[in-house]
Amino acid sequence: MRKSIPATLIPGDGIGPEIVDAAIAVLDSLHAPFAWEIRKAGLAGLKESGDPLPAETVESIRKTGLALKGPLETPVGGGYRSINVRLREEFHLYANVRPAKTLMPGGRYENIDLVTIRENTEGLYVGFEHYIPIDGDPHAVAIGSGVNTRAGCRRIAQFAFEYAVKHGRGKVTIVHKANILKALTGLFRETANEVAKSYEGRVQSDERIVDACAMQLVLNPWQFDVIVTTNLFGDILSDEIAGLVGGLGMAPGANIGENVAIFEAVHGSAPDIAGKGTANPLALLLASAMMLSHVECHDLAAKLRQAIDITLNQDAIRTRDLGGSATTREFTTALIHRLS
Ligand code: NAD
């Protein structure tokens, strides 16, 4: 019998509750050791308590240090700030980890297996922006600044190299734009290369300029293993990389800080299909597998990944977005059948 591990569960908005239900049913059938504290956030939090990030949700995460989160709706062009960004700031979730692995053969690329590690709190996403009005045009000039710190660059680079060691990965590629943004991403390049030296003999390293990296990911993605990069480049490249393995529907992500780790599907709340029972729960299930590995339940994570593989490829049970006809519930039932 494993020791019970307290964890916060945020069902989220749109398809969130449907895919979270699926993930919980699967984790229960695995006898995963999580003791859930269910808390609201996003639109659901706003409706219930007038705050899209209620204090009791923040307190629960602070206490458990571990969360599984459904997607949260963010209003476009006004309304409340992204709760995902607020959570990253609140808990200093400096590392965003996004693995991309081919799950079904026959796509555009076979045998993709790479991981993007994105700095999650600095860079051009700090939101230091303003307009300068000229001649009655309030938006005549827009100015934005990025902030990278030596400590932040060192922390994310060390995280990436440690990740490579822990997961048996051979190479880390440092991605930057130091030819143009010489200070902002030059500092990242310089610091990451210093960190790389301390891993010589254990993990190889090389570097790419971000635009060349984007092209090479399309031409020959197999040359990459772990990619570490700054916030904006990581945001863009990790979506490109998700595209190599069939899109965001199968992309899990983890946001990791010193004391807190939050696991999620990379996709959003999909309001267009919410309540229809057709959502694909795979991304959140893969995020659940990452969460199991995070708490050292590697056997359960491996069992879950293997059952997903069999359900998709031997049983050929897939949701509509993957060309199948299964509902969320049918896919989940088939997966649980394989697990048992
Ligand atoms: P989205 O990812 O929700 O949807 C894009 C398209 O992909 C839609 O057609 C949707 O039906 C489909 N899709 C997404 N997930 C799917 C799944 N699991 N199964 C089947 N189809 C799926 O992106 P969007 O429409 O741009 O955003 C909707 C809302 O989600 C917005 O409020 C946005 O801010 C929010 N969002 C949240 C997160 C998060 O919480 N991590 C991430 C991205 C977007």
List, for residues 40-85, the tens digit of each pLDDT value: 999 999 998 899 999 999 999 999 999 999 999 987 766 777 898 8
* 75-97 average pLDDT score: 86
According to the model, what pLDDT value does residue 155 have? 98
Token pair listed for 331:
């896919």
Contact assessment for residue 155 and residue 121, using Cβ atoms and an 8 Å cutoff: no
According to the model, what pLDDT value does residue 340 have? 87
For the segment 235-259, what is each residue's pLDDT rounded down to a tens digit? 999 999 999 998 777 899 999 999 9
> Which mutation among 267, 312, 330 tests ligand 1's pocket best, with the greatest number of atoms within 8 A of CB?
267
* 299-317 average pLDDT score: 97
Residues 6 or more apart in contact with residue 137 via CB below 8 angstroms: none
For the segment 116-127, what is each residue's pLDDT rounded down to a tens digit? 999 999 999 888
Q: Which of 109, 48, 61, 116 is CA-nearest to residue 254?
A: 116
Decide which of 49 and 209 is more confident. Answer: 209
Does any ligand 1 atom lie closer than 6 A to the CB of residue 280?
yes
Q: Mind telling me the catalytic residues? A: 125, 177, 211, 235
What is the DSSP-derived secondary structure letter of residue 82? Answer: P
Beta strands in 33-136 (DSSP E): 34-38, 66-69, 95-101, 113-119, 123-134
* 149-153 average pLDDT score: 98
Q: Which of 83, 38, 104 is CA-nearest to residue 250?
A: 104
For atom 30 of ligand 1, the residue with the nearest CA is: 268
* 182-200 average pLDDT score: 97
Asked if pLDDT for residue 131 goes beyond 90, the answer is: yes
According to the model, what pLDDT value does residue 259 have? 96
Does any ligand 1 atom lie closer than 6 A to the CB of residue 264?
yes
According to the model, what pLDDT value does residue 150 have? 98
The Cα–Cα gap between 318 and 339 comes to 16
Distance 255 CA to ligand 1 centre (A): 18
User: Residue 28's pLDDT band (boundaries 50, 70, 90)?
Assistant: very high
The Cα–Cα gap between 119 and 255 comes to 10
For the chain, percent of residues with pLDDT exceeding 90: 88
Residue 95 one-letter amino acid: A
Residue 337 one-letter amino acid: H
For the segment 159-169, what is each residue's pLDDT rounded down to a tens digit? 999 999 999 99
Angstrom CA distances, 52 to 85, 107, 255, 326, stand at 12, 38, 19, 32
Decide which of 195 and 129 is more confident. Answer: 195
According to the model, what pLDDT value does residue 246 have? 82
Pure H helices in the chain: 16-29, 43-49, 55-64, 83-90, 150-166, 184-197, 210-219, 231-244, 282-294, 298-313, 328-339
Decide which of 36 and 89 is more confident. Answer: 36
Token pair listed for 133:
């009005």
Pure H helices in 100-183: 150-166
The Cα–Cα gap between 120 and 155 comes to 11
User: Residue 27's pLDDT band (boundaries 50, 70, 90)?
Assistant: very high
